[in-house]
Structure 1
Amino acid sequence: MANPVLPAPAGAFGHQVRLLARDIASALAAWRFWCFMGWNDVAKRYRQTFLGPVWITVNTALFIVAFGLIGAQLFKYPAGWYLPYFCAGHVLFGYFSALLNEGCLTYTGSDAFLKQMSYPKTAFVFRTVFRCTVLMLHSAVIVLAVLWWSGRLGAVHWGAFLGAMALTLLAASFAVAIVGALATRFRDVTVAMGSLMQLSFFVTPVLWVPDELTERARWVVRLNPLALFLDLVRDPLMGTAPDPQAWLAAAGVVAVLGVVFFFQYVMVRRRIVYWL
């Protein structure tokens, strides 16, 4: 007769919840650690180069100006409107893509640390988010320059923009933690994420404007969380206040990601080191 499956101890789930809360609190307290590690990651990529991280700005600026002026002709929009629209969309989508792609390497890229000492797991999530944010800020200079050139810098809704960025950072932290744990257990996730982000570029309004789509085709935008956060952050930069429904939808996505993160990490947080 097979042995019956014994139920988990009544306090096991609560114990894991407390450990998760302690992990997050320890990671937040160790902000100097993950900020230093994230900054060192950026510096390491550009050691022994002449311009260093300025190459990010130069490459992005050349592409944005070249395609932005051509795209304005293709889509028949004024260059003073389309160039800021495309510039902000390109920089933000690159940021989202980097978060998800590099998020898959959150733990596998930090195995040397995790195998030696008991570091808080979420510290490496914050390291990835911080690194990607620093890299994005190099390109954010271009967005400001294009907004100034087009005369739109004075029309930016800075309060709405900062609120949208705060919501985006919270969603990014949950998303990086989720894909990081999944990719540690299933290594195919890293390859699949790269393919998914390439496809997402074409179904997210970076190059094109959603108003040009038919009503039936707009479901591509409505069901795309990347498009939701892209518009939420880009609209204030374009001088438009985001729709209240967009704020509610973004908060809903953050809530769902938070719930998934919570239950995932309660179950697998202690197993991450064994999967490396």
Structure 2
Amino acid sequence: MKQFGLLLQDLKRSCQIWRFWMHLGWEDIARQYRRSFLGPVWITLNTGIFIVVFGLIGAQLFKTSASDYLPYLCVGHILFTSLSMLANEGCQVFVQAEPYLKQAPFPKFAFIFRAIWRNLILLAHNIPILLLVLGFTSGLMSVKPLWLLLGLAIFVTCATLAVAILGLIAARFRDVPMIVTSLMQIAFFVTPVMWKPEQLTERAQWAVHLNPLAALLDLVRAPLIGTYPSSASVVLGCATMVALFAVSFVLYTFARRRIVYWI
């Protein structure tokens, strides 16, 4: 019970010092753009060029119209890239925070929120591309706002819990970042980012039905392109959130105080 109380106190203090971790997130972004001519425009340009080029080619490969395939690819690519970056950077949250954690008793979750905030800023760089693609294809009026808010809430919550878990485990075992990088590369091909589940055989579709990443993509992508997420995606997304919460709760209850000694 004592460790549970300390965990709640850590969360409370992390929320109270929101200016601290938001400032660190902004500084991370500013440092990334320092001495850059175009700055954040590079991210938008790179994403836009890839989506347009591969979107036109993919529409021919998968025998579908460009107006149907482009928004599907656009949302899937942007969301999966964000998840991949969060997974890779999540392994470093406490290692990068070593100068802070070894000098003062900062709450641990502040550095998890820092990583989430930083990646939300990077995700926002691609909003112009998303608006343009949706505006010229499926149309912005077809967006389902309530379902979109629900999907984003589950998406961000799962991402936050995953970063918390990966950050703690990677602080103890330094091989974890390499393993996560390899797994995310494999996950890209078994997750419907560029292809659609109905293009697989009925047996192969189990790779989608049991894939939490596919569920998270569907929860956000479907409302954006004017459809509703499947009930299987809603159930799997909620189950994933509950499972991540349970794992992170156990890990941080018993190992939170050891993070400083591991980094």
Q: TM-score if structure 2 supplies the norm length?
A: 0.98
Match of 2:120 in 1: 133
**C-alpha separation between the residues in 2 aligned to 1:245 and 1:231?**
10
**C-alpha separation between the residues in 2 aligned to 1:243 and 1:63?**
28
**C-alpha separation between the residues in 2 aligned to 1:125 and 1:33?**
12
Structure 2, unaligned runs of 5 or more: none
**C-alpha separation between the residues in 1 aligned to 2:138 and 2:186?**
33
What displacement does 1:247 show? Answer: 2.0
Alignment of 1:3-152 (within 5 A): 14-152=1-139
Q: Give 2:242's match in structure 1, choosing from 255, 261, 267.
A: 255
**C-alpha separation between the residues in 1 aligned to 2:31 and 2:118?**
11
Aligned partner of residue 187 in structure 1, secondary structure:
coil
Give the letter aligned to residue 119 of structure 1: F
Percent of matched pairs sharing the same residue = 49
Give the letter aligned to residue 189 of structure 2: F
Give the letter aligned to residue 58 of structure 2: G
1:164 matched to 2:151: yes
Give the letter aligned to residue 76 of structure 2: G
1:265 matched to 2:244: no
Give the letter aligned to residue 195 of structure 1: S
What displacement does 1:260 show? Answer: 0.4
Q: Give 1:236's match in structure 2, choosing from 199, 223, 240.
A: 223
**Is 114-123 or 152-161 further displaced after alignment?**
152-161
State the number of aligned residues.
263
Give the letter aligned to residue 37 of structure 1: L
**C-alpha separation between the residues in 1 aligned to 2:8 and 2:220?**
30
**C-alpha separation between the residues in 2 aligned to 1:62 and 1:248?**
35
CA contact (8 A) 2:219 2:233 kept: yes
Give the letter aligned to residue 213 of structure 2: L
What displacement does 1:192 show? Answer: 0.5
**C-alpha separation between the residues in 2 aligned to 1:113 and 1:193?**
25
**C-alpha separation between the residues in 2 aligned to 1:89 and 1:170?**
18
Partner deviation per Cα, 1:22-46 (whole Å, 9 max, x = no partner): 0001001111111111111111101
CA contact (8 A) 1:155 1:238 kept: yes
CA contact (8 A) 2:68 2:138 kept: no
Partner deviation per Cα, 1:211-262 (whole Å, 9 max, x = no partner): 0111110111111110110011100011012233422321111111101000
Give the letter aligned to residue 74 of structure 2: C
Alignment of 1:164-203 (within 5 A): 164-203=151-190
**C-alpha separation between the residues in 1 aligned to 2:127 and 2:250?**
35
**C-alpha separation between the residues in 1 aligned to 2:25 and 2:78?**
20
**C-alpha separation between the residues in 2 aligned to 1:21 and 1:41?**
27
**C-alpha separation between the residues in 2 aligned to 1:35 and 1:20?**
21
CA contact (8 A) 2:71 2:225 kept: yes
Partner deviation per Cα, 1:2-27 (whole Å, 9 max, x = no partner): xxxxxxxxxxxx11000000000100
Q: TM-score if structure 1 supplies the norm length?
A: 0.93
Aligned partner of residue 107 in structure 1, secondary structure:
helix
